Amino acid sequence: MGKGTYSRLFGGGDKDLQKKAADLLMQLGKALQSASAKMHVGAKAWLKDDIETLKEIRDEVVKLERESDSIKDEFVESIFSKRAYMPQQTQERYQLVTHMDSIIDAAEEAVRVLALGYKNKPLEVIVEMAEKSWMCADLLQDAIKYMFTDFEKALTYARKVDVVREDARDLKFQLHKKVFRGKDFDPAEGLFYHVISRRITEVAIQAELTADFIRTIVIKYS
């Protein structure tokens, strides 16, 4: 019998693959934090009218998003398909990876829309929204870390993500009120602010969905 055959028979899992999975998950977590942080920096650059920096950040976030897609593929092809975990845990880990990837996707979209609409009047509330979305991703990263070692702390951080996500939504509606009821913006600008606010808060929404998933896991196993 070859290495891992007994594990394959009873679904116990390969230790080396599990270690690799832990490393990949850490890389994905760093990419998630980095992408959301760069989105915030990009929004600040736009506010300062530093378009060159905004475009550089856009390229960096696009690169991060491609790398995170590769990490997700690596998980599927090299970890989950090789029975590194029991079937139910494989499913749950896959869902976690997919959720994390969605946050990075959302950050990429937001930065690309920012870079497209740089000629519009920059608004400080958009930078504030980007900051809240970044904070959501940051808190989520802690929730993910503690999910593996301490369910109670994971729940605490998951709840904090919810709270900050509400703040981001409030800012979005503040902006909408200003744009749709005021007379300072033409329709094209109004459309841009509507789109960019949705894109930026999408990062917070995806972070909240991931936090909800973590809560589901904690409730299921505790």
Partner 1 sequence: MAPAVGARVFSVTTAVLLGAVIDVIGAILLGGGVSEKVGSELVSGNEMSIAMVFAIMISMAIWLLVASVSKGLPISTTQCIVGAVIGVAAVAPFLGEEGWGIAAIDWLVILQILGGWVVSPIVGFVISAAVFQIVRKLQKRAKGYADRERQEQVAAYGLALFLLVTALSRGGNDVANAVAPLVALPDFQATFYIGPLAISGIMVPLLIGGIGMGLGLIVVGRKVIKTLATEVVTLSPTSALSASISVALVMTVGTYFGLPLSGTHVLVAALIAVGWVSRGPIQMKQVKDILISWVVTVPISAIFGVIVYVLINPFFPMP
- By C-beta, is 47 or 217 nearer to partner 1? 217
11 vs 30, which CB is nearer to partner 1? 11
Rounded least distance, CB 32 to partner 1, Å: 18
> Which one-letter amino acid corresponds to residue 23?
D
CB 123 within 8 A of CB 106: no
Nearest distance from residue 133's CB to partner 1, in Å?
26
Minimum CB separation from partner 1 for residue 70, in Å? 24
Residue type, 135: M
Nearer to partner 1, 9 or 184 (CB): 9
Residues with Cβ within 8 Å of residue 105, at least 6 apart in sequence? 65, 206
Two structure tokens written together for 134: 């970044």
Cβ of residue 216: shortest distance to partner 1, in angstroms? 12
| Nearer to partner 1 (CB atom), residue 199 or residue 215 | 215
**Integer CA distances (angstroms), 200 to 10, 101, 107, 129, 160, in order:** 45, 15, 7, 7, 18
Closest approach of Cβ 153 to partner 1, in Å?
9
The 10 Å Cβ neighbour count of residue 148 is 10
In the bound state with partner 1, the residue whose beta carbon lies nearer, of 86 and 188, is 86
Helices (H), the chain: 5-10, 15-47, 51-74, 87-116, 124-147, 151-181, 187-221
- Could you list the residues that contact partner 1 (CB under 8 A)? 9-13, 85-89, 146-151, 154, 217, 221-222
Looking at the Cβ atoms of 61 and 218, the one nearer to partner 1 is 218
Tell me whether residue 125 is exposed, middle or buried, using C-beta atoms within 10 angstroms of its C-beta: 0 to 12, 13 to 18, 19 or more.
middle
Q: Pick the closest to residue 100 from 74, 130, 71 (CA basis).
A: 71
Residue 51 Cβ vs partner 1, minimum distance, rounded to whole Å: 44
Give yes or no for a contact between 35 and 29, defined as CB atoms under 8 angstroms apart. Answer: no
